[in-house]
């Protein structure tokens, strides 16, 4: 074990420093867009991965907004103690209108330069990576993206940090809804997050044993759904329909209004909303966050930039930032089939 540590140190000091971009001395890390459980675990991994490699680390608060305002804090290994299990983000997050302008990005780049920050790790979703792409292109900032969003809608990674926790939170809530649905012989329309994608809805639908799932990727055929519900009504006293918020009718409320007489069920609507964003990250999310955080630091040290680090089939992968938001990750057709087989 001791030998292994010495070997690691040797690799770090002699391999990384001698043969890669040895100008990297200080890096910045920030979280941006919607918060996601596991962001803290990722910040911790970035900080400790950087310190292990002899780098200084600065935390940028409130995402791009804080970058523009110069809200930088020095981070040490102990600054990230006791956060691996916490939801949200200790660095805070924000949506920044100023950063969408060339002037805003120039101010942010100027602040990075003044603080001697040589590279950035951006933890966020597709919007964050659009901003990161611009910052890298316009101001030559070395930047690595880490997928942190509950939506799982980023091309270039099988899973995003926060997704597993969000799915588990929703399933736990629906297990409770199922108890009341069964007791009152009711139909429940349950709305889950997913403005543009049905990843959460599909996984939640299968694992909560729901009867029907409506997602943004496909048009909901109302007469087919009415027919299916009428079929359910013949042999099931209660039912659950999972509706992604971006479903084409406009979510659970609008969909419920379109279904004639709810096939005879007494029905209720439940919007799970922001509870899906919070809470203790699952072990799977903590592991993914830890792995990707350290891989992002390694990538900066290797001289990579303008890429997102992800995990595909269990292996670390790198995808150009631009592809993460220009290419679309599609829903697994086999899962869709599974949902329809199991809901009969
Ligand atoms: P989530 O998927 O959880 O919503 P996100 O990263 O997609 O996370 P956004 O609010 O879309 O969240 O983006 C975060 C921030 O990135 C925005 O507030 C904005 O400052 C910046 N951003 C988004 N799109 C662009 C763009 N086209 N150009 C420059 N900056 C952008």
Domain membership of residue 331 (yes or no) is: no
pLDDT digit string, tens, across residues 68-107? 999 999 999 999 999 999 999 999 999 999 999 999 999 9
- CB distance 44 to 124 below 8 Å: no
342 located within any domain: no
Confidence band of 22 (pLDDT split at 50, 70, 90): low
Residue of 130, 138, 216, 325 to test ligand 1 pocket, by largest number of atoms within 8 Å of CB: 130
**CA–CA gap between residue 42 and residue 268 (Å, rounded):** 38
Residues 158 and 179 in one domain: no
Residues 241 and 272 in one domain: yes
> Domain check: are 288 and 152 in the same one?
yes
Q: What's the CATH code of the domain at 169? A: 3.40.50.460
Contacts of 267 (CB under 8 A, 6+ apart): 186, 187, 188, 189, 256
Q: Which of 238, 257, 278 is the last residue of a domain?
A: 278
| Residues spanned by the domain of 270 | 163-278
**Residue 338 resides in a domain:** no
Is there a single domain that holds both residue 132 and residue 261?
no
Give tens-digit pLDDT for 185-204.
Answer: 999 999 999 999 999 999 99
Nearest-10 crossing angle of helices 102-114, 126-139: 70
CA distances from 187 to 86, 194, 262 (A): 35, 21, 8
Residues in the chain, overall count:
344
Does residue 85 share a domain with residue 233? no
d(CA 71, CA 66): 5
Closest CA to 136 of 309, 322, 301, 280: 322
CB–CB of 298/292 below 8 Å?
no
Mutational pocket test of ligand 1: of 127, 143, 244, the residue with most ligand atoms within 8 Å of the beta carbon: 127
Ligand 1 mean position, distance from CA 106 (Å): 17
User: Does residue 302 share a domain with residue 154?
Assistant: yes
Averaged over 211-217, what is the pLDDT?
A: 95
CATH number of the domain where residue 59 is located = 3.40.50.450
Q: Say whether both 54 and 87 belong to one domain.
A: yes
138-151 mean pLDDT: 97
219 assigned to some structural domain: yes
pLDDT per position as a tens digit, 284-306 = 999 999 999 999 999 999 999 99
Per the structure, how many domains does the chain have? 2
How much is the pTM? 0.92
Q: How far is the CA of 4 from the centre of ligand 1 (A)?
A: 41
Ligand 1 pocket residues where CB is under 6 Å: 32-34, 64, 95-96, 99-100, 124-128, 130-131, 134, 149, 151
Tokens, residue 288: 């993914």
CA angle 215, 326, 251 (to 5 degrees): 20
Choice among 151, 164, 285, 298 that is catalytic: 151
Backbone angles phi, psi at 26, to 5 degrees: -135, 135
Does residue 287 sit in the same domain as residue 145?
yes
Asked whether residue 137 falls in the same domain as residue 245, the answer is: no
Q: Does residue 151 carry a catalytic annotation?
A: yes
């Amino acid at each position: 074990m001791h030998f292994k540590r010495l070997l690691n140190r040797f690799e770090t000091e002699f391999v990384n420093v001698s043969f890669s971009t040895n100008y990297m001395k200080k890096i910045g890390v920030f979280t941006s867009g919607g918060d996601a459980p596991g962001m803290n675990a990722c910040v911790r991994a970035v900080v400790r991965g950087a310190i292990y490699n002899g780098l200084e680390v600065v935390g940028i608060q409130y995402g791009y907004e804080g970058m523009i305002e110069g809200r930088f804090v020095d981070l040490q290994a102990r600054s990230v103690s006791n956060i691996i299990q916490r939801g949200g983000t200790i660095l805070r997050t924000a949506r920044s209108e100023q950063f969408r302008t060339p002037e805003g990005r120039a101010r942010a780049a100027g602040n990075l330069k003044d603080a001697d920050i040589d590279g950035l790790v951006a933890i966020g979703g597709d919007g964050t990576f659009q901003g990161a792409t611009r910052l890298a292109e316009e101001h030559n900032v070395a930047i690595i993206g880490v997928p942190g969003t509950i939506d799982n809608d980023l091309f270039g990674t099988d899973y995003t940090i926060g997704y597993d926790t969000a799915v588990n939170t929703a399933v736990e809530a629906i297990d409770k809804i199922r108890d009341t649905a069964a007791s009152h012989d009711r139909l429940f329309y349950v709305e889950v997050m997913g403005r543009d994608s049905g990843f959460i809805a599909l996984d939640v639908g299968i694992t909560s044993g729901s009867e029907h799932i409506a997602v943004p990727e496909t048009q909901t055929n109302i007469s087919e759904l009415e027919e299916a519900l009428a079929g359910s009504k013949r042999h099931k006293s209660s039912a659950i329909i999972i509706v992604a918020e971006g479903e084409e009718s406009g979510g659970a409320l609008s969909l419920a209004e379109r279904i004639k007489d709810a096939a005879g069920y007494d029905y209720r609507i439940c919007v799970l909303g922001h509870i899906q964003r919070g809470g203790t990250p699952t072990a799977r999310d903590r592991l993914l966050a830890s792995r990707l955080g350290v891989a992002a630091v390694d990538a900066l040290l290797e001289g990579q930039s303008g890429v997102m680090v992800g995990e595909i089939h269990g292996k670390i992968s790198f995808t150009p930032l631009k592809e993460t938001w220009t290419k679309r990750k599609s829903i697994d057709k086999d899962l869709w089939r599974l949902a329809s087989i199991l809901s009969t």
